[in-house]
Amino acid sequence: MDIIQLLPEHVANQIAAGEVIGRPASAVKEMLENALDSGATKIKLYIKDAGKTLLQVVDNGCGMSETDARMSFERHATSKINKADDLFAIKTMGFRGEAMSSMAAIAHIEMKSKLTDKELGTHIFIEGNQVKKQDDCSCSNGTSISIKNLFYNVPARRNFLKSDKVETRHIMEQFSRIALANPDIKMSMYLDDVEHFHLEKSNKRQRIVNVTGAKSNQKLVPIKEETTLVNLSGFIGKPEFCKRTRGEQYFFVNNRFIKSPYLHHAVKKAYDGLIPDNYFPSYFLYLDIDPKLIDINIHPTKTEIKFEDERSIYAIIRSAVKHSLGKYNVAPTIDFNQETAFDIPVLEQGKVLTQPKVKVDTNFNPFEKEKPTEIFSWGDVVSENKETKIQQEIEVKWNTELQNKQFLQINNQFILLETENGIIIIHQQRAHERILFEYYQSLLENKKTKSQQLAFAYNLTFTNSDYLLIIQLKEPLRNLGFGFELKGKNKIEINSIPPECADGNLETIFEEILEQEKNDNQLVISTKVKIAKVLAKNIAIKKGKSLEQEEMKVLISNLFACNLPSICPSGKTTIINLSLEDITKHF
The architecture that CATH gives domain 378-431+544-584 is 2-Layer Sandwich (3.30)
- Percentage of the chain beyond pLDDT 90 is 30
Segment 22-45 shows an average pLDDT of 92
Rounded-to-integer distance, Cα 151 and Cα 415, Å: 57
Check whether 266 has a pLDDT greater than 70. Answer: yes
pLDDT band at 200, cuts 50/70/90?
A: very high
Check whether 16 has a pLDDT greater than 90. Answer: no
List all residues 6 or more positions away from 575 whose beta carbon is below 8 Å from its beta carbon. 389, 394, 424, 425, 426, 427, 431, 559, 565, 566
Q: Residue 434 carries which side chain, given as an amino acid letter?
A: R
For residue range 399-412, what is the model confidence (pLDDT) as tens digits? 555 566 788 899 99
Specify whether the CB–CB gap between 561 and 525 falls below 8 A: no
Residue of 584, 243, 249 whose CA lies nearest to 421: 584
Looking at residue 331, its pLDDT comes to 56
Check whether 335 has a pLDDT greater than 80. Answer: no
Q: Please give the C-alpha separations between residue 572 and each of 30, 205, 247, 316, 431, in angstroms, as whole numbers.
A: 43, 43, 26, 41, 10
| Measured CA angle at 280 (ends 93, 484), to 5 deg | 95
Rounded-to-integer distance, Cα 64 and Cα 510, Å: 47
Looking at residue 59, its pLDDT comes to 95
For residue range 303-333, what is the model confidence (pLDDT) as tens digits? 788 888 899 999 999 999 999 988 876 655 4
> What would the DSSP string read from start to end of 525-549?
S-HHHHHHHHHHHHHSPPTT----H
Specify whether the CB–CB gap between 148 and 107 falls below 8 A: yes
Looking at residue 457, its pLDDT comes to 87
Q: Which helix (H) or strand (E) holds 557?
A: helix 549-560
Check whether 396 has a pLDDT greater than 70. Answer: no
Cβ neighbours of 479 (radius 10 Å): 18
Looking at residue 586, its pLDDT comes to 80
pLDDT band at 156, cuts 50/70/90?
A: confident
Residue of 272, 274, 276 whose CA lies nearest to 318: 272
Looking at residue 339, its pLDDT comes to 44
Q: Residue 54 carries which side chain, given as an amino acid letter?
A: L
| Comparison of pLDDT for 206 and 465, the residue scoring more | 206
Specify whether the CB–CB gap between 197 and 175 falls below 8 A: yes
Segment 17-33 shows an average pLDDT of 84
Segment 237-254 shows an average pLDDT of 87
**Boundaries of CATH 3.30.230.10 in the chain?**
209-327
**Boundaries of CATH 3.30.565.10 in the chain?**
9-201
Dihedral sign from CA coordinates of 441, 444, 447, 448: positive
Check whether 172 has a pLDDT greater than 80. Answer: yes
Which of 139-143, 488-492, 574-578 has the highest mean predicted lDDT (pLDDT)?
Answer: 139-143
Specify whether the CB–CB gap between 565 and 575 falls below 8 A: yes
Specify whether the CB–CB gap between 287 and 254 falls below 8 A: yes
Looking at residue 381, its pLDDT comes to 33
Check whether 389 has a pLDDT greater than 50. Answer: no
Q: Residue 527 carries which side chain, given as an amino acid letter?
A: T
Check whether 182 has a pLDDT greater than 80. Answer: yes
List all residues 6 or more positions away from 536 whose beta carbon is below 8 Å from its beta carbon. 432, 433, 434, 436, 437, 440, 569
CATH fit for domain 443-534, picks 3.30.450.20, 1.10.150.110, 3.30.1370.100, 2.10.240.10: 3.30.1370.100
- Intra-chain end-to-end CA distance of the chain, in Å: 75
pLDDT band at 544, cuts 50/70/90?
A: confident
For residue range 38-64, what is the model confidence (pLDDT) as tens digits? 899 999 999 999 999 999 999 999 999
Looking at residue 351, its pLDDT comes to 60
For residue range 350-373, what is the model confidence (pLDDT) as tens digits? 666 666 565 555 665 555 544 433
9-201 carries CATH number 3.30.565.10: yes
Looking at residue 24, its pLDDT comes to 93
Rounded-to-integer distance, Cα 403 and Cα 556, Å: 9
Looking at residue 330, its pLDDT comes to 62
pTM recorded for the entire structure: 0.70
Residue 530, Cβ density class (10 Å: 0-12 exposed, 13-18 middle, ≥19 buried): buried
Check whether 199 has a pLDDT greater than 50. Answer: yes
Rounded-to-integer distance, Cα 357 and Cα 369, Å: 29
Specify whether the CB–CB gap between 517 and 491 falls below 8 A: no
For residue range 222-235, what is the model confidence (pLDDT) as tens digits? 999 999 999 999 99
> What would the DSSP string read from start to end of 213-282?
-GGGGGGEEEEEEE-SSEEEEEEEE-GGG-BSS---EEEEETTEEE--HHHHHHHHHHTTTTS-TT-B--
Q: SS3 for 511?
A: helix
**Boundaries of CATH 3.30.1540.20 in the chain?**
378-431+544-584
Segment 20-30 shows an average pLDDT of 88
Residues in the chain: 587
Looking at residue 90, its pLDDT comes to 61
Q: What is the mean pLDDT of the chain?
A: 80
Rounded-to-integer distance, Cα 489 and Cα 475, Å: 20
Check whether 475 has a pLDDT greater than 50. Answer: yes
Looking at residue 344, its pLDDT comes to 46
Segment 100-112 shows an average pLDDT of 89
Specify whether the CB–CB gap between 473 and 529 falls below 8 A: no
State the virtual CA torsion across 505, 511, 514, 517 in degrees, nearest 10. -80
Looking at residue 190, its pLDDT comes to 94
Looking at residue 378, its pLDDT comes to 31
Q: Are strands 283-289 and 249-253 parallel, antiparallel or unpaired?
A: parallel
Q: SS3 for 430?
A: helix
| Comparison of pLDDT for 198 and 101, the residue scoring more | 198
Q: Are strands 42-48 and 186-191 parallel, antiparallel or unpaired?
A: parallel
**Boundaries of CATH 3.30.1370.100 in the chain?**
443-534
Rounded-to-integer distance, Cα 227 and Cα 299, Å: 28
Residue 127, Cβ density class (10 Å: 0-12 exposed, 13-18 middle, ≥19 buried): middle
Rounded-to-integer distance, Cα 34 and Cα 27, Å: 11
Specify whether the CB–CB gap between 420 and 429 falls below 8 A: no
Looking at residue 141, its pLDDT comes to 93
- Percentage of the chain beyond pLDDT 70 is 79
In angstroms and rounded to an integer, the radius of gyration of the C-alpha atoms of the chain is 31
Looking at residue 171, its pLDDT comes to 93
Residue of 269, 268, 229, 234 whose CA lies nearest to 252: 234
pLDDT band at 85, cuts 50/70/90?
A: low
Check whether 495 has a pLDDT greater than 50. Answer: yes
Q: SS3 for 36?
A: helix
Specify whether the CB–CB gap between 242 and 280 falls below 8 A: yes
Which of 19-28, 175-184, 253-262 has the highest mean predicted lDDT (pLDDT)?
Answer: 175-184
**b/e per residue, 137-149, with b = 16+ CB within 10 A?**
eebebbbbbbbbe
The architecture that CATH gives domain 209-327 is 2-Layer Sandwich (3.30)
